[in-house]
Each structure stands twice: as structure tokens, then as C-alpha cells.
Amino acid sequence: MNYFSSQFKLGILGGGQLGKMMLYNTRKFDIYTKVIDSSADAPSRLACDEFIQGDILDYETVLNFGRQVDVLTFEIENVNVDALETLEQEGIKVYPSSKTLRTIQNKATQKLFYTDNGIPTAPFFRFAYTSEIKEAINHGGLNLPFVWKSARFGYDGNGVKVIRQISDLEQLPNVECIAEELIPFKNELAVIVARNADGEIKTYPTVEMEFHPEANQVEYVLCPARLPDAITKKAEDLALQVATAFKHVGLLAVEMFLTKDDNVLVNEVAPRPHNSGHYSIEGSYTSQFEQQLRAILNLPLGNTDNKVAGVMVNLVGAENHTGNVHYKNIETIMAMDGVTPHIYGKKQTRPFRKMGHVTIVDKDINKAREIAGKVKQTIEVISK
């Protein structure tokens, strides 16, 4: 099929920053795009050819939108999967598939998928309701501490809590959930895999992630990871195993734990471009956003090697600041070598809201990390 400067239409469910960054590349290739999002101020609205405001969790809305495009993708998991399934039955290409998304949307079914496919992951218990957990602890089946995760709609530290004592359960919603063994890990890693419909598959280099201790959000992503080759190969092989098991088409970000004894366990996956791949815009031969297009359109996959070492810093709203956003000291960081800010276009800031990111590139990963620390200390996302 001719995607370029043609009648072909690519539909994207969700108009957030991931969609916006994917649209840089549809512009580059002159691929016609149609985007739907519930917000009239969605970051993607200015970069697409056609923007529609609508509820992507509503069956009829997604169905009607999908019937107007040739290939449908999404930049957020919280979409109506029943509508995607119907569209596939009607012959619309949906990538990643509704089957994959249905499995991944629910953390309990995602974990069961790993168990069924021999993919190493932390041991867990599944509960229909949070209220059932106390009984499991009292009867000795479940030991403290553990990680509570809501089965649905958790993201960026929401829907995840470490339970060290029974009283920690009290403020949690009474929903379907899992209780996962607390893994004493050395490091959190991620590998992005790209796979097209023909089965061509490539991994990006393993990245290491440094987390904010309170917000449970990634603060720094470093690529390449500062780890021995044997460990990064183990992580990349595991990510390939996961993508192959899903028969995935598109990008799959595989987040992992590196245990104290150098085993690698899958934590969870995201079937889309991911925070851990943002460094690739400046750091890789092919950015994750271009690669997503190549994969879902069944084009040859691009080179995933690094051109240069990269560190990504998330720009999140400062605590005690809510309202119209102001990026304090942004000119100061732009004066630093190898520093590129990406502003997502969200007009309102609030504590820990993802407002943008900054990439720092250098030939030396340690130098890039040092500059990233200065960037983090310098720029502030505040309200006016």
C-alpha cells in the first residue's frame, strides 16, 4: 500500500504527548492522520490533519472513528477494546491488536500471560477485591511486605502501593487487584521491541531507570545502561521472548527488574511508545516514534543503535504548584551542551504531572548523566 502523499488515513486513539511525538514523523513522511481525544486542548490537535473531540472509552465513538481510517493505533491503553475487536472483524487493521491490548489492560491477566508462556515474573496472587487480601494474610497464604497493584487503570505510580503492614490497605480502593512479591532488585531496566506484521523484530538497547522515591515516577532514563553486556543481552532476549509470545505488531516497552543475583524478571509492558524510549529522538538512528509507524504500517524497521549516549529527564509539575504553567530557567538549560527540551503542550501544571522531558546527549554516558543532574536541579515546572 502507498502510505505517502496518498489517500491512506492513519487513525490514532488518544491525543496526548505520545501521539504528538508520533505525528512529527507522519509529517515527515506526509502520512494523513486523524486523531480523537476527549480534550479540546489535547497536545496532538495541532499536529494532525484532522482532530475530533470524543470519548475513546465509548464503544460507538471508537467504532465510528475506526470506520473512517485504514489503520488504527492508540497512544494510551485506556480505550474501548470491544470496539477495536469489532473493527478487526470488519476488516480494519488495528495495531497493536485488540487481543494484545485486552491482555495488557488488566494487570492480573497480563501476569497470568507471563506465567502461561514461561516468562519470568515476580510471584503474585490475584484478588477480585482488595478486601479479600486481609483474609489471605491472616490465613498465612500471603506474606508482608508485598506490592498491591490495581488490575485496571493504574499508571505512573497511581494504582500501585507497597504494603508493609495491614493498616496500609485501608486507604485503597476495593477493586480487582494483584498482590505481588516485593522483589529486592538492584535496578529497573526497560527494553523497547519493535515488530512488524511480517515478523521482522528488533530491540533497542537496554536502558536503566532511576526513580523518584516519593512519586514512583521515572526521573532519569539512561541509554546505554551502565551494566555488563551479559546482563543487557539477557534483558533484550527476554523482551524478544515477550513480544514474540504476544505476536505483537507495533512497539512493546518491556519493563523489568534486575534482581540481586542478576536474574531479569518482567514487571509489566506497554504496547506503544514509552517514556523509556524518549531518549531515542536525539540518541538513536531511528526514534521510537518513527519505528512505531514503520512497525504498524509493515514497513522495514529502522536501525535501533545509538548514535550517541542519551539521558532523559522527565519534566513534572513542582509540588505546591497548580495552574498556568511556567518553565523557570529553561533558557539556562538550553545553554548547556547536548540539552534539548521537549514541551508537551499541556497548559495547566499540577504536582508530578508529566509536562515534558529533556534529553541530554554526549559521547560519554557518565558525562550525560552528570549534566542531567544539573538540568534537574535547574529547571522548574511551576505555576505563574
Between CA 125 and CA 64 the distance in angstroms is: 39
For 291-338, what is each residue's pLDDT tens digit? 999 999 999 999 999 999 999 999 999 999 999 999 999 999 999 999
* Confidence at residue 215, expressed as pLDDT on a 0 to 100 scale: 66
Q: Output the CA–CA distances (angstroms, integers) from residue 161 to 35, 155, 180, in the order listed.
A: 34, 12, 10
Q: Does domain 123-181 have CATH number 3.40.720.10?
A: no
Between CA 331 and CA 10 the distance in angstroms is: 36
> Chain-wide mean pLDDT for the chain?
95
* Confidence at residue 158, expressed as pLDDT on a 0 to 100 scale: 73
Question: C-alpha angle 103/109/112, rounded to 5°?
Answer: 120
Between CA 105 and CA 111 the distance in angstroms is: 11
Question: C-alpha angle 335/340/342, rounded to 5°?
Answer: 130
Angle between the N-to-C axes of helices 107-116 and 229-246, in degrees from 0 to 180, rounded to the nearest 10: 100
For 245-265, what is each residue's pLDDT tens digit? 999 999 999 999 999 999 999
Q: How confident is the model at residue 362 (pLDDT cuts 50, 70, 90)?
A: very high
Between CA 158 and CA 336 the distance in angstroms is: 33
Would you say 200 is a known binding-site residue? Answer: no
Q: Does domain 185-383 have CATH number 3.20.20.60?
A: no
End-to-end CA distance of the chain: 49
Between CA 318 and CA 118 the distance in angstroms is: 42
Would you say 182 is a known binding-site residue? Answer: yes
What is the 3-class SS of the chain, one letter each residue? CCCCCCCCEEEEECCCHHHHHHHHHHHHHCCEEEEEECCCCCHHHHCCCEEEECCCCCHHHHHHHHCCCCEEEECCCCCCHHHHHHHHHCCCEECCCHHHHHHHHCHHHHHHHHHHCCCCECCEEEECCHHHHHHHHHCCCCCCCEEEEECCCCECCECEEEECCHHHHCCCCCCCEEEEECCCEEEEEEEEEEECCCCCEEECCCEEEEECCCCCCEEEEEECCCCCHHHHHHHHHHHHHHHHHHCCCEEEEEEEEEECCCCEEEEEEECCCCHHHCCHHHHECCCHHHHHHHHHCCCCCCCCCECCEEEEEEEECCCCCCEEEEEECHHHHHCCCCEEEEECCCCEECCCCEEEEEEEEECCHHHHHHHHHHHHHHCEEEEC
List the 32-37 sheet strands across, edge first. Answer: 50-53, 32-37, 9-13, 71-74, 93-94
Q: How confident is the model at residue 157 (pLDDT cuts 50, 70, 90)?
A: low
Say whether 185-383 and 123-181 share the same fold: no
Between CA 248 and CA 242 the distance in angstroms is: 9
Domains of the chain, by residue range, sit at 9-94, 123-181, 185-383
- Please say if the pLDDT value at position 284 is more than 90: yes
My answer on whether omega of the bond before 96 falls inside 30° of 0, hence cis, is yes
At 35, give phi and psi (nearest 5°).
-125, 140
Cell numbers given for 26: 507522519
Spatial CB neighbours of 331, under 8 Å, sequence gap ≥ 6 = none
* Confidence at residue 218, expressed as pLDDT on a 0 to 100 scale: 79
Would you say 268 is a known binding-site residue? Answer: yes
Whether 308 contacts 283, CB under 8 Å: yes
* Confidence at residue 139, expressed as pLDDT on a 0 to 100 scale: 87
* Confidence at residue 216, expressed as pLDDT on a 0 to 100 scale: 67
Question: C-alpha angle 6/37/347, rounded to 5°?
Answer: 115
Would you say 180 is a known binding-site residue? Answer: yes
At 16, give phi and psi (nearest 5°).
-80, -165
- Mean pLDDT, rounded, for 47-73: 98
- Please say if the pLDDT value at position 155 is more than 90: no
Torsion of CA 98, 102, 104, 110, to 10 degrees: -130
pTM summary value: 0.95
- CATH for the stretch 9-94: 3.40.50.20
For 211-252, what is each residue's pLDDT tens digit? 877 766 778 999 999 999 999 999 999 999 999 999 999 999
- Please say if the pLDDT value at position 128 is more than 70: yes
Would you say 188 is a known binding-site residue? Answer: yes
- Please say if the pLDDT value at position 63 is more than 70: yes
- Mean pLDDT, rounded, for 132-147: 91
Would you say 267 is a known binding-site residue? Answer: yes
- Identify the burial level of 378 via C-beta atoms within 10 angstroms of its C-beta, where 0-12 means exposed, 13-18 middle and 19 or more buried: middle
